[in-house]
Amino acid sequence: MASLDYAYRRLVNTLGPERVARSEFERMVYSHDFATLPKVALLQWKLYPDFVALPQTTEEVAALVKLSDESLLQITPRGGGTGWYGGSVPNRGGVLIDMRKMNRILALDPDGRTVTAEAGVTWKDLEDFVESKGFVLPFVPTNAVGSTGFGGLRGGRLRDAIANLEVVLPDGKLLSPAPKADAGGQLADLTSLFFGAEGTLGIITKATIRVVTKPETSKALAYAFPDLPAAARFLKGIVDSGLEPYHAVLADRDHFVFERALRSDSPEPADLALVGLQGSKDDVADTERTLDGLAAKEKGKKLAVDVAERLWRERYNNYSARRLSRGLVTSYNLVPVGRLPEAVETAAKIRRRLKLNGSVQAYLVDTTTAALVPYVLMDDTRPSGGTALGFVKRMGDAAFKMEGHPMGLGLFLVFNLRKMHGRATSFISAVKAVFDPRKKINGGKTLEVWTKYPWPGVRAIPPQGMAVGLEIAAVLRRVKPTRDHFVRAYEHEKGA
Amino acid sequence: MGLLRDWHYIEKAVEIPALSEVIRESLIRALFVRDDRVLPKDLIADLNRLPPVTVKVKDDSEVRKLVRVLNGQESTVSLGLSAEDYHFFRTQLGVGRTREFGVVVRPRTLLTYDWIVPEQRGVQLDFAAYAEIEFSEDAHRAIAQVGATWKQLYDAAPAKGHRVPFVPTVPLDFAVGDGVYGDAPFGAYRGEFGAYVNALRTISPFGHRARVGFEEVANNGTAYDLLHATLPLAGEFFLPVAIALRLEAKPAAHKTLTYTFDDGAKLSVALDKLTRSSTSPDWVHLTDAVAARTLRPSAAAEAFTVQVSVSGTGTGLPAKEKALDTAMAGFKAKSPDVPNPFDVPADVYRKTAETVARSLFVGEVRLPAKALGDFLAKIRAFGDQSTAKAGAYASLRATGIVSAFPFFAAPKDRSKVYNLSKGVRAIASKVPGAAFTSRLAHLWEEEANFMRRMALLRSLKLTIDTAHVAQPLVAP
């Protein structure tokens, strides 16, 4: 391996000194993603990258990938850093490639109904841009982990909304995984492989995304229910009635308790369902009538239009509760729609049992699937903070029991891979072996767990070791005698 | 059989010094039509050889056992064959010699044409008798064994409270499995067949049951989405035995509206406008006059017929119909009474399918809706020029893309298929945004990115199927 100083000089020669960082502070910023990590993780992984590189063009990304053949440093690609399980965090240092300087929207093709953007563009910016041109995105993902999100019931999945990608492969060459024309998955379309890959197959530098004509009408509806299972039954009722709203989500009252602690003008805490409708005026009106009927069956109370519209406008700002506790852990699972009422109850039960502050949320993904996305608050500056990670393990186990599965593997949840895929795990592993036989891009994640130590015997740990660690965290959490009171502490602090 | 096998065969053939001078396209033609003026007789004999043994599958454990026997993990005795069958099996396959055996799945109905390279010395699986469908009680999904026909699924779903969202663009009597190892053109307005496949139950090349994807829920965020990347070629990576399908709730009301157009330009504008409107039908099926006459021999056929299936609440349907009428402006006539090709009794469907199957299909052309009228006119002219009257079936996608299947009234000999395919490709290549996706088109394509993707797929196949069981690759 080349010396770090030599590697730095080569990086600076490629990008210039202003786009290569190696200071302690900058490296620290990149040592975690959206999830908060306990400091003890530093014993196992070198979470701080050796260098942070900020390329501005695809050619620069390709040059960085080729450079790693000289320096033998691992490459970790990173987008907005909104992942939850360490997918964009280094495990052996190396070069972290931050894509956020590649943030140009390159072209809108109104005839072909696509927009092409670089990898660092945020979904919000892209959505605003296409809306200004009379289009909307058929699908907006909720996070970096999976490909579920807003618009699934009508617009399918993220992979249906992506017409093509530009990827720098581990050998430094460029690949368009799909043909130029829409071939419906034919002509050797490999795009699907990059969904869920968490940056382990190559570095996506551009995406061509489908857009649809702006709907005639958009409307948001919100209903308050007597309890969370009733809200879940309401969501199931939407699927059983054959309705196709743009999006349907539920959140428990605790979420609004946190919101209210942060902003006094937030809605009255209640177990709520929020539904976004799009379509022709008549169609939207008819769907609204049916939804009102479904909500009434579950004793749901329709909220004022301005409340619903406000909740809809703020749909992307879901985790402001993080400010209460300094940290937040989210568990992301897919469960069958038929078992959604049971799933939300289970999530609430696990949260209570582990004495955690948090919220249960869920939304419809398609006609068979709902995403169960509870979050819990944690304060990693306290000794007990890291034990909140046990919640993710317990939720994943519960999802398996309900014939669903957790989402995201990253650095922490690799032990779920075999549970998810059983004997097909070897098929999945074959993909990485074909694309990146030297494991130089984001290696030691998703399929296996590397440690920071290069010595035989301790280079990697059995994924089950991670499972045991998180299970211990859950047990410790359960035996912890007291419950955190983040809201009270926050209000006290604010008052002081 | 198998696209990757054919592609690999061609790639290897062009590496042979004596053949490398032959232009790739000429070589493909020679191999496809079995041209004995270009190719040695031995090679042609190889290409004409069919798998010596066909196994009619009744249970997936039989496939497991078979794979294990062919891998040498179990003895042929364990197959429990009668003495006569046992002898036949061993002699036909040449068991006991140093050979590799492949397993291929025979599609129930092939829309286009057979592959270039048949399985040389392996076993062909016939899943016609493996055809049960299990509907979920509490969710809108079903698990269909690969031999179950699409029509069987489509007809049985409503009684269980479900709706099958995808329909075949060309109404042939396809098995559900033909969508993953054949060329069945299933699709819906809102998505391709893959959007409705949650998982495949497969037998791995080592004889294990392996589920690719998740039967109860969607496959998202669980590492690489191998299911959808391999779906059109799944039979070349593993042996699919059942498909977990995502269905929809049976609607309270549904209706098929039929619009006729006398002008291709008006048709194109209407279809483009529909996909830019807020209306979202279940499926949109199109036929030209030739195809319409095949489907409805007793009715007078207009130049173009568009059938749109809409569903919703009883009160909401009139609004949807009104919106459709606006979007389809320019139509000549509209009728709510014309039967669609799918909602007919099974025997009528089969009979029509037999008639449809007599035509020669060359594969799918995907093109922007607004170019459809012009494209169909060119196909018609090409058919007249080639003395093979042309027609087309098509279906529309919400993305503004039409999936069109041109067909010709011509004998199905391989040279005719080849020449007509070439003609369709030439026409499609001149339409901006169009793609000809037939198997021959895959072999003709030499664009660098495509070649790279095919090479990656081949490597993936070789890494997954290290036992060389699922349609193993062969070289000349």
Provide the mean pLDDT of chain A: 92
The H or E element that residue B86 is part of is helix B83-93
User: In Å, how far is B300's CA from the nearest CA of chain A?
Assistant: 33
> Read out DSSP for A367-431?
SSEEEE--EEEE-TTSTTGGGGGHHHHHHHHHHHHTT-EE---TTT-TTHHHHHHGGGHHHHHHH
* Residue range A138-155, pLDDT digits in tens: 999 987 666 789 998 886
Distance in angstroms (rounded) separating the CA atoms of residues A247 and A228: 18
pLDDT of residue A495: 57
Instruction: With respect to residue A36, please indicate whether it lies within any of the assigned structural domains.
Output: yes
Residue of A nearest to B137 (CA): A338
* Nearest by CB: B224 against A196, A210, A366: A196
- The answer on B338 and B303 residing in a single domain is yes
B141: phi then psi, degrees, rounded to nearest 5: -155, 165
Which CATH number goes with the domain that contains A194? 3.30.465.10
Asked whether A74 and A90 are in contact (CB, 8 A), the reply is yes
The answer to whether A189 contacts B223, with C-beta atoms less than 8 Å apart, is no
Q: Convert chain A into a string of H (helix), E (strand) and C (coil).
A: CCCHHHHHHHHHHHHCHHHEECCHHHHHHCCCCCCCCCCCHHHHCECCCCEEECCCCHHHHHHHHHHHHHHCCCEEEECCCCCCCCCCCCCECCEEEEHHHCCCEEEEECCCCEEEEECCCCHHHHHHHHHHCCEECCCEECCCCCCCEECHHHHCCHHHHEEEEEEECCCCCEECCCCCCCCCCCCCCCHHHHCCCCCCCCEEEEEEEECEECCCEEEEEEEEECCHHHHHHHHHHHHHCCCCCCEEEEECHHHHHHHHHHCCCCCCCCEEEEEEEEECHHHHHHHHHHHHHHHHHCCCEECCHHHHHHHHHCCCCCCCCHHHHCEEEECCEEEEHHHHHHHHHHHHHHHHHCCCCEECEEEECCCCEEEECCEEEECCCCCCHHHHHHHHHHHHHHHHHCCCEECCCCCCCCCHHHHHHHHHHHHHHHHHHHHCCCCCECCCCCCCEECCCCCCCCCEECHHHHHHHHHHHHHHHHHCCCCCCHHHHHHHHHHC
- The answer on B160 and B298 residing in a single domain is no
Tokens of A465: 């070791």
Tokens of B4: 């990757």
Tokens of B126: 């016939």
Cβ neighbours of A361 (radius 10 Å)? 23
Tokens 């009104």 -> residue: B322
Count how many Cα atoms sit within 13 Å of the Cα of residue B460 in the half-sphere of its side chain: 27
Residue B238: its chain A contacts at CB < 8 A? 427
Give which of B186, B154, B156, B183 is closest to B168, Cα–Cα. B186
Asked whether A408 and B221 are in contact (CB, 8 A), the reply is yes
User: In Å, how far is A289's CA from the nearest CA of chain B?
Assistant: 10
- The answer on A350 and A236 residing in a single domain is yes
Count how many Cα atoms sit within 13 Å of the Cα of residue B10 in the half-sphere of its side chain: 30
Which CATH number goes with the domain that contains B240? 3.30.465.10
Asked whether A74 and A38 are in contact (CB, 8 A), the reply is no
A74: left (phi over 0), alpha (psi -120 to 50) or beta: beta
Which CATH number goes with the domain that contains A298? 3.40.462.40
By 3-state DSSP, what share of chain B in percent is helix, strand and coil, each rounded to 5?
40, 20, 40
Give which of B87, B173, B169 is closest to B347, Cα–Cα. B173
* Residue range A193-220, pLDDT digits in tens: 999 899 999 999 999 999 999 999 999 9
A335: left (phi over 0), alpha (psi -120 to 50) or beta: beta
Distance in angstroms (rounded) separating the CA atoms of residues B136 and B138: 6
* Residue range A216-237, pLDDT digits in tens: 999 999 999 999 999 999 999 9
- The answer on A150 and A63 residing in a single domain is no
- The answer on B310 and B168 residing in a single domain is no
Banded model confidence at residue A496, pLDDT cuts 50, 70, 90: very low
pLDDT of residue B93: 65
Tokens of B54: 């066909």
* Nearest by CB: A197 against B224, B238, B434: B224
Instruction: With respect to residue A496, please indicate whether it lies within any of the assigned structural domains.
Output: no
Instruction: With respect to residue B466, please indicate whether it lies within any of the assigned structural domains.
Output: no
Domain that residue B400 falls in: 253-439
Q: What is the percent of chain A with per-residue pLDDT over 70, rounded to a whole number? A: 98
Q: A259-273, B9-23, B272-286: which range is least confident on average? A: B9-23
Asked whether B365 and B375 are in contact (CB, 8 A), the reply is yes
User: Total domain count for chain B?
Assistant: 2
- The answer on A275 and A233 residing in a single domain is yes
Asked whether A407 and A146 are in contact (CB, 8 A), the reply is yes
* Residue range A417-449, pLDDT digits in tens: 999 999 999 999 999 999 999 999 999 998 999
B194 touches chain A (CB under 8 A): yes
- Inter-chain Cβ pairs, chain A and chain B, closer than 8 A: 267
* Residue range B417-437, pLDDT digits in tens: 999 999 999 999 999 999 999
Residue B111: its chain A contacts at CB < 8 A? none
Beta bridge partners of B126: B56
B422 touches chain A (CB under 8 A): no
What residues of chain B, 211 to 240, have a C-beta less than 8 Å from chain A? 211-212, 214-229, 231-232, 237-238
Instruction: With respect to residue B33, please indicate whether it lies within any of the assigned structural domains.
Output: no
Q: What is the mean pLDDT of residues A29-36?
A: 84
Q: What is the mean pLDDT of residues A387-416?
A: 94
Task: Sort B84 into a burial class: Cβ within 10 Å, 0-12 / 13-18 / 19+.
Answer: exposed
Instruction: With respect to residue A155, please indicate whether it lies within any of the assigned structural domains.
Output: yes
Residue of B nearest to A416 (CA): B222
- The answer on B305 and B169 residing in a single domain is no
- The answer on A226 and A371 residing in a single domain is yes
- The answer on B216 and B281 residing in a single domain is no
- The answer on B235 and B281 residing in a single domain is no
Instruction: With respect to residue B80, please indicate whether it lies within any of the assigned structural domains.
Output: yes
Asked whether B469 and B71 are in contact (CB, 8 A), the reply is yes
- The answer on A387 and A250 residing in a single domain is yes
User: In Å, how far is A93's CA from the nearest CA of chain B?
Assistant: 22
Boundary of a domain, candidates A101, A126, A145: A101
* Residue range A254-270, pLDDT digits in tens: 999 999 999 888 899 99
pLDDT of residue A379: 85
Residue A169 has pLDDT above 80, yes or no: yes
Q: A55-69, A214-228, B35-49: which range is least confident on average? A: B35-49
pLDDT of residue A405: 96
- The answer on A130 and A263 residing in a single domain is no
- The answer on A268 and A145 residing in a single domain is no
The answer to whether B220 contacts A334, with C-beta atoms less than 8 Å apart, is yes
- The answer on B116 and B190 residing in a single domain is yes
Q: Which of the pair, A177 or B319, is modelled with greater confidence?
A: A177
* Nearest by CB: B251 against A242, A285, A430: A242
pLDDT of residue B99: 60
Tokens 């008052």 -> residue: A495
Query: Residue type at A170?
Result: P
- The answer on B143 and B172 residing in a single domain is yes
Which CATH number goes with the domain that contains A96? 3.30.43.10
Boundary of a domain, candidates B189, B221, B250: B250
Q: A181-185, B22-26, B376-380: which range is least confident on average? A: B22-26
Instruction: With respect to residue B343, please indicate whether it lies within any of the assigned structural domains.
Output: yes
Instruction: With respect to residue A494, please indicate whether it lies within any of the assigned structural domains.
Output: no
Query: Residue type at A109?
Result: D
Residue B37 has pLDDT above 50, yes or no: yes
- The answer on A382 and A235 residing in a single domain is yes
- The answer on A229 and A208 residing in a single domain is no
Query: Residue type at A169?
Result: L
The answer to whether A188 contacts B364, with C-beta atoms less than 8 Å apart, is no
- The answer on B421 and B293 residing in a single domain is yes
Asked whether B418 and B31 are in contact (CB, 8 A), the reply is no
Boundary of a domain, candidates A149, A184, A213: A213
Q: Which of the pair, A126 or A483, is modelled with greater confidence?
A: A126
Residue B202: its chain A contacts at CB < 8 A? 424
pLDDT of residue A455: 87
Provide the mean pLDDT of chain B: 92
Distance in angstroms (rounded) separating the CA atoms of residues A15 and A7: 12
Instruction: With respect to residue A489, please indicate whether it lies within any of the assigned structural domains.
Output: no
Tokens of B42: 């031995």
- The answer on B246 and B193 residing in a single domain is yes
pLDDT of residue A360: 97
Residue A491 has pLDDT above 80, yes or no: no
Distance in angstroms (rounded) separating the CA atoms of residues A332 and A354: 17
Calculate the CA dihedral of residues B344, B345, B348, B351 and round it to 10 degrees: 110
- The answer on B243 and B309 residing in a single domain is no
Give which of B277, B352, B353, B374 is closest to B319, Cα–Cα. B277
Distance in angstroms (rounded) separating the CA atoms of residues A144 and B221: 9
Cβ contacts of residue A310 below 8 Å, gap of 6+?
A267
Instruction: With respect to residue A311, please indicate whether it lies within any of the assigned structural domains.
Output: yes
- Helix (H, G, I), strand (E, B), or coil: what is residue B439? helix
Give which of A30, A49, A26, A205 is closest to A120, Cα–Cα. A205
Residue B219: its chain A contacts at CB < 8 A? 196
What residues of chain B, 92 to 151, have a C-beta less than 8 Å from chain A? 136, 138-141
Boundary of a domain, candidates B203, B220, B250: B250
Boundary of a domain, candidates B199, B226, B250: B250
Residue B74 has pLDDT above 80, yes or no: no
- The answer on A325 and A223 residing in a single domain is yes
Domain that residue A69 falls in: 4-101
Distance in angstroms (rounded) separating the CA atoms of residues A306 and A255: 19
* Nearest by CB: B450 against A187, A283, A404: A187
> Read out DSSP for A441-474?
BSTTSSS-EE-S--STTTSEE-HHHHHHHHHHHH
Residue of A nearest to B245 (CA): A368
pLDDT of residue B398: 95
Q: What is the percent of chain A with per-residue pLDDT over 90, rounded to a whole number? A: 75
What ranges make up the beta strands (E) of B140-190? 141-145, 162-163, 167-168, 186-187
The answer to whether B276 contacts A213, with C-beta atoms less than 8 Å apart, is yes
Residue A210: its chain B contacts at CB < 8 A? 399
User: Total domain count for chain A?
Assistant: 4
What residues of chain B, 444 to 463, have a C-beta less than 8 Å from chain A? 445, 449-450, 452-454, 456-457, 459-460, 463
Asked whether B368 and A111 are in contact (CB, 8 A), the reply is yes
B14 touches chain A (CB under 8 A): no
Instruction: With respect to residue A467, please indicate whether it lies within any of the assigned structural domains.
Output: yes
Q: A301-310, B66-75, B141-150: which range is least confident on average? A: B66-75
Boundary of a domain, candidates A213, A245, A270: A213
Tokens 């003709």 -> residue: B444
By 3-state DSSP, what share of chain A in percent is helix, strand and coil, each rounded to 5?
40, 20, 40
B89: phi then psi, degrees, rounded to nearest 5: -60, -50
pLDDT of residue A494: 65
Q: What is the mean pLDDT of residues A300-315?
A: 95
pLDDT of residue A33: 86
Residue B287 has pLDDT above 50, yes or no: yes
- The answer on B279 and B192 residing in a single domain is no
Instruction: With respect to residue B216, please indicate whether it lies within any of the assigned structural domains.
Output: yes
Which CATH number goes with the domain that contains B356? 3.40.462.40
* Nearest by CB: B319 against A179, A187, A286: A286
Instruction: With respect to residue B454, please indicate whether it lies within any of the assigned structural domains.
Output: no
The answer to whether B278 contacts A145, with C-beta atoms less than 8 Å apart, is no
Instruction: With respect to residue A451, please indicate whether it lies within any of the assigned structural domains.
Output: yes
- The answer on A18 and A47 residing in a single domain is yes
- The answer on A272 and A195 residing in a single domain is no
